[in-house]
Amino acid sequence: MSAGAGDETLAGFRASIDDIDASLVTLLGERFTITRQVGIHKARVGLPAADPEREAEQIVRLREVAASVGLDPSFSEKLLRLVFAEVRREHELARRDDATAADG
Protein backbone atom coordinates (compact mmCIF):
# COMPACT_ATOMS: atom_id res chain seq x y z
CA MET A 1 0.00 0.00 0.00
CA SER A 2 1.21 3.51 -0.80
CA ALA A 3 2.65 5.56 2.09
CA GLY A 4 0.02 8.03 3.25
CA ALA A 5 -2.97 5.80 2.47
CA GLY A 6 -5.77 6.94 4.77
CA ASP A 7 -4.47 10.52 4.80
CA GLU A 8 -7.44 12.43 3.39
CA THR A 9 -5.57 15.68 2.83
CA LEU A 10 -2.96 13.85 0.79
CA ALA A 11 -5.68 11.95 -1.10
CA GLY A 12 -7.27 15.27 -2.09
CA PHE A 13 -3.97 16.65 -3.39
CA ARG A 14 -3.34 13.44 -5.29
CA ALA A 15 -6.77 13.48 -6.92
CA SER A 16 -6.06 17.02 -8.18
CA ILE A 17 -2.63 15.98 -9.47
CA ASP A 18 -4.15 12.98 -11.28
CA ASP A 19 -6.77 15.22 -12.92
CA ILE A 20 -4.08 17.65 -14.07
CA ASP A 21 -1.90 14.83 -15.41
CA ALA A 22 -4.79 13.39 -17.42
CA SER A 23 -5.46 16.88 -18.84
CA LEU A 24 -1.77 17.32 -19.67
CA VAL A 25 -1.62 14.05 -21.61
CA THR A 26 -4.92 14.79 -23.37
CA LEU A 27 -3.61 18.22 -24.42
CA LEU A 28 -0.41 16.59 -25.65
CA GLY A 29 -2.54 14.22 -27.69
CA GLU A 30 -4.21 17.24 -29.33
CA ARG A 31 -0.80 18.82 -29.90
CA PHE A 32 0.43 15.74 -31.75
CA THR A 33 -2.75 15.57 -33.82
CA ILE A 34 -1.80 19.04 -35.06
CA THR A 35 1.93 18.35 -35.56
CA ARG A 36 0.97 15.32 -37.69
CA GLN A 37 -1.13 17.64 -39.89
CA VAL A 38 1.83 20.06 -40.01
CA GLY A 39 4.07 17.21 -41.21
CA ILE A 40 1.63 16.32 -43.99
CA HIS A 41 1.19 19.98 -44.97
CA LYS A 42 4.95 20.65 -45.07
CA ALA A 43 5.58 17.58 -47.21
CA ARG A 44 2.80 18.70 -49.57
CA VAL A 45 4.06 22.27 -50.04
CA GLY A 46 7.75 21.30 -49.97
CA LEU A 47 8.79 22.92 -46.69
CA PRO A 48 11.61 21.33 -44.65
CA ALA A 49 10.33 19.21 -41.75
CA ALA A 50 12.53 20.93 -39.16
CA ASP A 51 12.48 24.68 -38.45
CA PRO A 52 15.19 25.49 -35.89
CA GLU A 53 14.28 29.19 -35.82
CA ARG A 54 10.64 28.45 -34.95
CA GLU A 55 11.82 26.01 -32.22
CA ALA A 56 14.10 28.66 -30.72
CA GLU A 57 11.19 31.13 -30.60
CA GLN A 58 8.95 28.56 -28.92
CA ILE A 59 11.57 27.88 -26.26
CA VAL A 60 12.02 31.58 -25.45
CA ARG A 61 8.27 32.14 -25.27
CA LEU A 62 7.57 29.12 -23.06
CA ARG A 63 10.45 29.97 -20.72
CA GLU A 64 8.62 33.27 -20.14
CA VAL A 65 5.26 31.53 -19.55
CA ALA A 66 7.02 29.12 -17.15
CA ALA A 67 8.55 31.95 -15.13
CA SER A 68 5.17 33.70 -14.94
CA VAL A 69 3.54 30.61 -13.36
CA GLY A 70 6.39 29.91 -10.92
CA LEU A 71 8.12 27.14 -12.87
CA ASP A 72 11.84 26.87 -13.48
CA PRO A 73 12.31 28.00 -17.13
CA SER A 74 15.06 25.38 -17.63
CA PHE A 75 12.57 22.70 -16.67
CA SER A 76 10.01 23.88 -19.24
CA GLU A 77 12.78 24.03 -21.86
CA LYS A 78 13.76 20.43 -21.08
CA LEU A 79 10.15 19.30 -21.47
CA LEU A 80 9.70 21.20 -24.73
CA ARG A 81 12.90 19.71 -26.17
CA LEU A 82 11.55 16.24 -25.33
CA VAL A 83 8.33 17.14 -27.18
CA PHE A 84 10.31 18.41 -30.20
CA ALA A 85 12.33 15.18 -30.25
CA GLU A 86 9.11 13.14 -30.25
CA VAL A 87 7.66 15.25 -33.09
CA ARG A 88 10.83 14.62 -35.12
CA ARG A 89 10.70 10.89 -34.35
CA GLU A 90 7.07 10.75 -35.55
CA HIS A 91 7.87 12.71 -38.72
CA GLU A 92 10.75 10.35 -39.53
CA LEU A 93 8.52 7.31 -38.98
CA ALA A 94 5.84 8.83 -41.23
CA ARG A 95 8.42 9.53 -43.96
CA ARG A 96 9.70 5.96 -43.75
CA ASP A 97 6.15 4.60 -44.03
CA ASP A 98 5.55 6.78 -47.11
CA ALA A 99 8.76 5.49 -48.70
CA THR A 100 7.72 1.88 -47.99
CA ALA A 101 4.28 2.50 -49.49
CA ALA A 102 5.87 4.03 -52.61
CA ASP A 103 8.15 0.97 -52.95
CA GLY A 104 5.28 -1.50 -52.53
User: Of 43, 60, 78, 100, which one interacts with its own copies (CB under 8 A)?
Assistant: 78
**For the CA atoms of 13, 17, 20, 21, what is the dihedral angle to 10 degrees?**
-170
Chain positions 8 to 47 lying near its own copies, rule: CB under 8 A, are: 9-10, 13-14, 16-18, 20-35, 37-38, 41-42, 45, 47
Q: For residue 2, give the nearest of 22, 18, 24 by alpha carbon.
A: 18
CB 62 within 8 A of CB 77: yes
Told to check if 88 binds its own copies by CB under 8 A, we report: no
Nearer to its own copies, 48 or 104 (CB): 48
Nearer to its own copies, 67 or 99 (CB): 67
Told to check if 96 binds its own copies by CB under 8 A, we report: no
Min. distance of Cβ 62 from its own copies in angstroms? 6
Nearer to its own copies, 37 or 98 (CB): 37
